[in-house]
Structure 1
C-alpha cells in the first residue's frame, strides 16, 4: 500500500502536535521528496549514514528525532550539509523530523519509551514544557543505591553509564528526560527525585548530585533516544498500511 506525502505529514502532526511546542528547529517535513510513500525508515539522526542506509532500504521517507536544521546554525549548504541534502534530493526521499514533540509524547515519545525499556512508570511530568517524567519502578520496588540503578540502566541499554551522587542512599523516586537534559536536574530535584537519568552530564551536575544528595546517571544521548522514532513511525506506518524499518546508526555519544 501507499499514501501521499501530505497524508503522512498530517498523520505525524496529528499524533505529535508540534504546534504546542517552542522548539530549536522546524518540526515536520524538512526536505520534500517524492509525493507517493510506500516505505518509511526511522532513525535517531538524519546523518549521512542513515540516509545512505535508507536509500539501500528503498525508503520513500525518513523519520528522525534530530533533523538537519537548527536555530542559529550556519545557513550555508556546504560540507556535511551539502552531502546529506544532495543525497536526499538525488534520491527524492522525504525527510520528516520531530524534536521536542517526539520527546514529549505520553506513550510513544522518547521519554515514555525509555521509561518502558527501564521498567519505570511515570506518575507526573516536570520541567520546561513538561518534557521530564518522574515515577518509580513498575513492580513497586526501588533500587538499593545509585550503583544498582546504574547497573540496571547499563544492562538494559547495553552501554556504560556515568554516575554521580550519594553511594548508599536507597532510590525510589526516579526522574528522567532523554538526550541533553542535564539542565533539568534541578527541576528533577524539586520534583522529589532520588535519582535523575538523562543522556549527558556537564561539569556542574556532579557537584549538584553530591551536594543535594540526589543521584545523576548519564546513559548516552543517542542511547536514551533510540526508542521514540521507531515507536511513532511504526504506529503511523501501521495506521496507513506502509512498510517501516528502524535503522540504528551506532553512536558512542
Structure 2
C-alpha cells in the first residue's frame, strides 16, 4: 500500500509533466482514497473502464485520456457527470498523463512503438521540441510498402490503413501515436520514407501523395495502449502495489 500523493509526485517527476503545455491537466484529476493498494490502468477513462476499476477493487484508475480537456463545457452533467459521480462515490482516484506519456523515452507510447517495430537510431521528429512528441527510427532492413503494412499490422494488432506514396522502399520511419496524422508534414521535412500515427483524415490521402511519404494509420487506441501499462508496471515496482490493465478493444 502506498500514499496517493507519493505516487503522483513520483509520476510527475519521472514524466517531467510540468515541462509540457498540454490539452488537459496531467496528474491527479479526481482525488479518492489516500492509500493506494491496487491500480487499474486503461487507455481512456470510459464508463466501462470505471466499472472495471470498481470490480477490480482499484483505488486508482490510471489513464492516458482523462477529463477536463480544453474547450469542454464546465457543467458536470450527462455522460461525463455519470463517470465522475461513479468515481467519487467509489472513492477512486483518476490519474491521467497525456503528452508526457507519449514522450517518455522508456515508458512512453512512442518508445513502445519503436520497440515493437524494432526501430533503431531513434531521433526526434521535430528537433526544435524540448520534449519530443514524435520520433524517427530506422528499420534494420528496408521493406516494400506492402511488406511494411503487413509488419506493422501484425506487430500492433491492427489492420493498418495504408495511404501510398511513390517510394518503393521503406527504411526511415517517422511515428507519433494517437491523433497526430498532420505530423506527416514533419516526417516529409525529415525525409522519412513512411510515417505512422493512429488516426487518418481526408486530407492525409493527398498529403501522402504530394509529400511522397507513405502513411500508415494504425489506430488511436492500438498505438496508445502501451504507455499506461508501462507506467503502471513502473509504479507497481516502485511502490510494491498491484496493478492490472483493462482492454476495451476500441477499433478506432
Of 129, 132, 139 in structure 2, the residue corresponding to residue 130 of structure 1 is 132
Q: What pairs up with 1:91-106 in 2 under 5 angstroms? A: 91-106=90-105
2-side partners of 1:73 and 1:222: how far apart?
A: 21
What SS class does the counterpart of residue 169 from structure 2 fall into?
coil
Is the 8 Å Cα contact of residues 147 and 167 (structure 1) preserved in structure 2?
Answer: no
Match of 2:174 in 1: 175
Match of 2:141 in 1: 141
1-side partners of 2:246 and 2:106: how far apart?
A: 21
Q: CA RMSD, aligned part only?
A: 1.2
Is the 8 Å Cα contact of residues 66 and 99 (structure 1) preserved in structure 2?
Answer: yes
What SS class does the counterpart of residue 115 from structure 2 fall into?
helix
2-side partners of 1:236 and 1:14: how far apart?
A: 12
Is the 8 Å Cα contact of residues 115 and 122 (structure 1) preserved in structure 2?
Answer: no
2-side partners of 1:87 and 1:146: how far apart?
A: 46
Aligned-pair CA distance for 1:69: 1.3
Gaps of 5+ in 2: none
2-side partners of 1:122 and 1:221: how far apart?
A: 24
Aligned-pair CA distance for 1:125: 0.7
Length-normalised TM-score, structure 2: 0.96
What SS class does the counterpart of residue 196 from structure 2 fall into?
strand
What SS class does the counterpart of residue 193 from structure 1 fall into?
coil
Query: Is 1:120 aligned with 2:119?
Result: yes
2-side partners of 1:94 and 1:109: how far apart?
A: 22
Q: What pairs up with 1:28-43 in 2 under 5 angstroms? A: 28-43=27-42
Is the 8 Å Cα contact of residues 104 and 111 (structure 1) preserved in structure 2?
Answer: yes
2-side partners of 1:51 and 1:168: how far apart?
A: 45
Match of 2:76 in 1: 77
Q: How many residue pairs get matched?
A: 249
What SS class does the counterpart of residue 74 from structure 2 fall into?
coil
Deviations 1:25-71 (A, max 9, x none): 10000000011001111110000000100111111101100001101
Match of 2:232 in 1: 233
Length-normalised TM-score, structure 1: 0.95
